[in-house]
Amino acid sequence: MIAEGEVRRLIRAALEARERSYSPYSHYRVGAALLTGEGKLYTGCNIENAAFTPTVCAERVALFKAVSEGERQFAAIAVTGSPAGEMTRYSWPCGVCRQALREFCDPEGFWVIVAKSETEYGIRTLAVLLPESFGPEELAGTEQQRVTDEEKRR
């Protein structure tokens, strides 16, 4: 389980990241804060695009920032999303983000926190949000898995 203080730290960082959301079309503002195995934080916000398909969720922005900096081990992510203004709802990660996280996170040990505030939040393991999932180990023994294992050791 993740410590209460760590949860609050993540939620604070996600709320701060939400301030940087670029969402001129949906006005749905999302921030995310991803915690590495070593306690480092990477944040992200949703970034929309006039052509729509290039739009990226806050969770994937945080994950890709971290992975591009060499991080491979993650403990938890906090997500704060709501229409512009006050936080009125919980924003669970979309299916694409759940799968993206699955690539690097142990489904049973990785925590997903959705929050309206530091004291109002929901928390689930990735395994609950993405049951019977497909991950890198499905390709065990293949050339792809050998490459993946080497990537993860870096």
The whole-angstrom separation of Cα 40 and Cα 66 is: 9
Candidates 30, 57, 75, 101; binder of Zn ion (CB under 5 A) is 57
Which structure tokens are listed for 86?
């006050």
Q: Kindly indicate which of the ranges 5-13, 19-27, 88-96, 104-112 contains the residues binding Zn ion, using the contact rule CB under 5 A.
A: 88-96
- Minimum distance from residue 91 beta carbon to Zn ion (Å): 9
Alpha helices in the chain (DSSP H): 4-18, 58-68, 95-102, 126-129, 143-153
Q: Which is nearer to Zn ion, 13 or 57 (CB)?
A: 57
For residues 145 and 134, give the distance between their C-alpha atoms in angstroms, rounded to a whole number.
Answer: 13
Among all residues, whose Cβ is closest to Zn ion?
57
| Using rule CB under 5 A, residue 61 touches Zn ion | no
Minimum CB–partner distance for residue 150 and Zn ion (Å): 28
Establish if 32 lies at the interface with Zn ion (CB under 5 A): no
* Distance of alpha carbon 14 from alpha carbon 118, whole angstroms: 10
Q: From residue 96, give the alpha-carbon distance in Å to each of 4, 12, 67, 93, 124.
A: 28, 24, 17, 8, 17
Residue 120 a catalytic site member: no
Quote the least distance from Cβ 32 to Zn ion, whole Å: 9
* 97 scored as a contact of Zn ion (CB under 5 A): yes
Q: Among 23-31, 91-99, 104-112, 127-135, which window interacts with Zn ion (CB under 5 A)?
A: 91-99
Catalog residues that contact Zn ion under the rule CB under 5 A. 57, 94, 97
